[in-house]
Structure 1
C-alpha cells in the first residue's frame, strides 16, 4: 500500500509540475516583462524558482489528496489482515469516497458473517464436547495412523488412566486389558463393525463391558479410523447373578419342606398310619414343615412388597422405647427357653416411623441374635440419642461373622450357619427385610462383628421433630 501511494504521489506531482511548467512558458510569452529580460540566466533562475515553488505546492496538495483517497483503502486492508489472523471482531471504517464506503461495508458484512459462523461452530463444539464427556458410555477414537485422537472421561475412569498418558499415543502402546486390546485390533485391522462383551480385572474389581467398534468413514468413503464405545454392565451382571442365586435359593428352600411333607405323607399312605406313635410323629413333622413353608412364603411376599418401588411406611411420631419393649415381650419366651438374658437399656426417644414396621425390624434383629447365640449368653439392646438421630444397638454374644462376609449379611437367603438357622426355623430373609425397612424410614444400618465374640447391629433413625 505504501509503494502504491509513493507511485501515485510521484505521478500526480509530475503531472502538476508539467502543467505548471507549461503555464510558466505560456505566461512568459504573454507578459513582455519576462520576454524583454536580456539575461537568460536570470530568466532560467526565475523559472526554476517558480517551478520549485509550484512543485512544493503541488506536492503538498498531492499528499493531501493521496491521504484522503488511500486512507479508507488502508483501513480495509488492515481489517482484511486481521480477519486472516482470525480476529473476526475487526471492523473497517465506513467513510470516504463512495467506492471505499461500499468496500468497507462489504468487508464488515464478511467479518460479521465469519464471527457468527465461528460463534455457532464454537457452540456446537462445546455441545459435542459436553455430550461426549457426560455420556454414560466410554468413548475412544483412533485415527488411521493408529493414534488416539479422542477419549472421554468415562473411558479414562473405567480403565483408571489419565488423559496425558493416552492422548496421541498408539493404541498398541496403551496399558489396557488384553481382551480390549484384541477387540480394538480386530476392528482396526478388518475395518468392519463388531460387538462383544468382555470381562477383565482392574485391581480388586471385576469389570464387565459391552464393547462396540466401528470404522469412521469420511467423504467419498474415505477411511479415517475407528471409534470404540464401551458400556459398563458390571451392575447388570451382578443383578443377573443375584436373580440366579435368588431363584436357586428359593428353589432349594421350598424343596426342603416340600420333600419332607411328601416323603412322610407317602410313608403314612404306605401303611405307617396304622402305628399311632409313628403317625403322630410324622404328622408333627409335616405340621412343622408346613409352618416353615408358610413362613417362607409369607417372608417372600413381604420382601417383594417392601422392595417395590412405590413402597412407603406410615411415618408418625413413635415412642421407640415402647416399640423395643413390645418386641422384647413377644420374643421373651423363646429367650427364656434358651436361657438367654435380654438386657434392655432404653432412653426416652421419639422417632419418626411406622410402629408396626419398627416392631418387625426389632423382632427380626432379636430373632437373629437368638438364632446365633449360645445358651446362657446375653443379648443387649441400647437406645439413645446421638446428635440428630436415634441410635438402636443390638449386641449379641453369638458366633460372629468373618469380616469378608459382613457385606453379604443383608443378602436374601444368606446364612452364616445354615444348619443352625434351618433348625431354628429361619428363612434367611429377616435381615434383608430389616435393611429395606430401615432405608424406607430414611435411616441406615451398620454391622460390627468378631468371630467367636459376637455381632452388633446399629440402626440410625431420624428423630421426630
Structure 2
C-alpha cells in the first residue's frame, strides 16, 4: 500500500499539471491576436522609416510602392515566425518553472501536514492490530498535537488494560493449574474449554491437549461421564461421591458440578470440581479398624484376667497348684496388656505432627551389639544362628534409643517368624548418603499382596504365631514412623516360604 503522502503529492502534481497545461492552451489560443497586433504595430513603425528613406532616393513612386509591399510581406512573415517560436519557448519554461515551484511548495506543505496524519493513521492501525506499545509523535507545529496526545492516551490506557488482562489471565491460569482440586469446564456443546493438570493426573488422562475436544473423547471414567450427563440433563448444581476402580485399587472423589450462567441468564455450559478423598476414606477406615482392633486386643487379656481372678475368688485359691497356675496366667496377661498400652502410647507419640528425635552421631555397630545382647535368649530358644557382615565405620545421625527400638522390633519379628535351626543374616554397610541396616531371615515370608499392609496397625501376617509370641501387632507401624522421623527409608523384600529381608536407610553423619 502506497503511503498517504505519496498519493496526495501525486494527486496534487496531476492537478497542478492539468491547471498549467490548461493555462498554456488558453494562452496559446490568445497568442495569434497578440502576435498580429504586435506585428502590425512594429511593421508600421518600420515602414514609416523605410518610406522616409525611399522618398529621399531617386526611385519612382511605382518602384517605391513595390519595394514597400515586398518589405511589408517579408517583415510580417519573419516577425510572426520569430514571435511564435519565442513565445512557445517562453511559455514552456515559465509553465515548467511554475510547476516545479508549485511541486516543491506542495511537497513541503504535505510533508508538514500530511506526514503527521499518515503517522497517526499507522499508529491507529497498529493499535487495531493489538500493538499497544506504539506511540504517536506529538508535533505542535503541525496542528495535530491534540489528536496525537489523545491517541497516545488511548494507547497507554489500552496497554494498561492489556497488561492487567494478561496479569489476571496468568493468575487465573496459575491458580487453576496449581489448585489441589481437579477442575474441568465444558461448554454447552460438550466441548472441553478448561482443564487443569490435577484433573488429568487424578484421572490418568494421557492426552496432552484436550482443549476443544468432546468430553466423551478424552478417556474419562464411566462414573465421571455419568455425573457430567446428569449435570447437562438437570442444568442445576449437583454433588456426588464417585467411586473409581482402577488396577485393583479404589479411588474416591467428591465431585461438585454447577452450570455456568452468562449475561442475560444465558446457559454457557458446566464446571466440575473434584476433590480426591481417597486418603480421608482410608483414614476413616483405619480409624474404625484401629478402634475395633484396640477393643479386641484389650478385651482378650482383660477377659482372661477377669475370668481367672473370679475363679480364684470362688475358691480355687485353696488349691496351691491351681493358684500358682492362675496367677502366672494373670501375670502373663498383665504383661501383655502393659506391652499393648506401652506400644499404643509410643505409636501415638511418634504419629504426632512435628515429632522429632534427638539426633546425634551414632555408630550402628554399637546399636546392633546391644540388640543382640537383649535377643540372645530368643535366639537360643529356637537355636537360630547369626551371620554377620558388618562395617565398623558406619556412623549415622540418629537417636540411639530409637534406633535400638527399630532394630529390636525387626530382629524380634525375624526370630518370631523363623523356624528352628535357621540362620539370621544381619548386615551393616553404607553408600554415599545412608548408613544401611539389613536383616534377612529364613522364615515363612510375606506374599506380595500383604507387603503393602504390614506397616498397618494390628496387621499380622500369621496371627496365631504372632499372638502366641506375645506380639501386639504395632511393632512395624512404630518402626515405620521412627524411620521417617530420622528422615530415612525402609524397604521390604520377601518371598513366601523362603524368608523376608528388611532394609533400613538412616542418613550418614555429614563430615
The verdict on how the C-alpha distance between 1:82 and 1:267 changes in structure 2, with shifts beyond 3 A counting, is same
Q: Residues 327-382 of structure 1: CA distance to partner in whole angstroms, max 9, x if unpaired?
A: 21112122212322334443323332222222222221221122111222222322
Contact 1:402 1:450 in 2 (8 A): yes
TM-score, with length taken from structure 2: 0.81
Matched, 1:401 2:454: no
Match of 2:190 in 1: 146
Counterpart Cα distance in 1 of 2:429 and 2:212? 59
Q: Which moved more, 1:102-111 or 1:138-147?
A: 102-111
Matched, 1:284 2:338: no
Counterpart Cα distance in 2 of 1:410 and 1:437? 12
The verdict on how the C-alpha distance between 1:362 and 1:203 changes in structure 2, with shifts beyond 3 A counting, is closer
Match of 2:404 in 1: 359
Query: Which of 408, 416, 421 pairs up with 2:461?
Result: 416
Question: Helix, strand or coil: the match of 1:141?
Answer: strand
Counterpart Cα distance in 2 of 1:36 and 1:202? 122
Query: Which of 430, 444, 448 pairs up with 2:475?
Result: 430
Match of 1:245 in 2: 289
Counterpart Cα distance in 1 of 2:415 and 2:376? 10
Counterpart Cα distance in 1 of 2:230 and 2:467? 53
The verdict on how the C-alpha distance between 1:37 and 1:52 changes in structure 2, with shifts beyond 3 A counting, is farther
Matched, 1:89 2:133: yes
Measured after TM superposition, the shift of residue 196 of structure 1 is: 1.3
Matched, 1:332 2:376: yes
Match of 2:155 in 1: 111
Contact 1:414 1:428 in 2 (8 A): yes
The verdict on how the C-alpha distance between 1:275 and 1:388 changes in structure 2, with shifts beyond 3 A counting, is same
TM alignment of 1:4-403, pairs within 5 A? 42=83, 45=88, 48-49=91-92, 52-53=95-96, 54-95=98-139, 97-164=141-208, 166-349=210-393, 350-403=395-448
- Pair member with larger Rg: 2
Counterpart Cα distance in 1 of 2:470 and 2:284? 28
TM-score, with length taken from structure 1: 0.88
Question: Helix, strand or coil: the match of 2:283?
Answer: helix
Counterpart Cα distance in 1 of 2:40 and 2:141? 45
Q: How many residue pairs are counted as aligned between the two chains?
A: 461
Counterpart Cα distance in 1 of 2:275 and 2:137? 56
Counterpart Cα distance in 1 of 2:439 and 2:110? 100
Question: Helix, strand or coil: the match of 1:408?
Answer: coil
Measured after TM superposition, the shift of residue 165 of structure 1 is: 5.8
Measured after TM superposition, the shift of residue 115 of structure 1 is: 2.0
Contact 1:13 1:62 in 2 (8 A): no
Measured after TM superposition, the shift of residue 232 of structure 1 is: 1.2
The verdict on how the C-alpha distance between 1:375 and 1:47 changes in structure 2, with shifts beyond 3 A counting, is closer
Question: Helix, strand or coil: the match of 1:92?
Answer: coil
Counterpart Cα distance in 1 of 2:7 and 2:145? 23
The verdict on how the C-alpha distance between 1:16 and 1:411 changes in structure 2, with shifts beyond 3 A counting, is same
Contact 1:156 1:162 in 2 (8 A): yes
Match of 2:504 in 1: 459
Counterpart Cα distance in 2 of 1:51 and 1:35? 26
The verdict on how the C-alpha distance between 1:161 and 1:36 changes in structure 2, with shifts beyond 3 A counting, is farther
Contact 1:8 1:66 in 2 (8 A): no
Counterpart Cα distance in 2 of 1:269 and 1:37? 173
Counterpart Cα distance in 1 of 2:492 and 2:106? 98
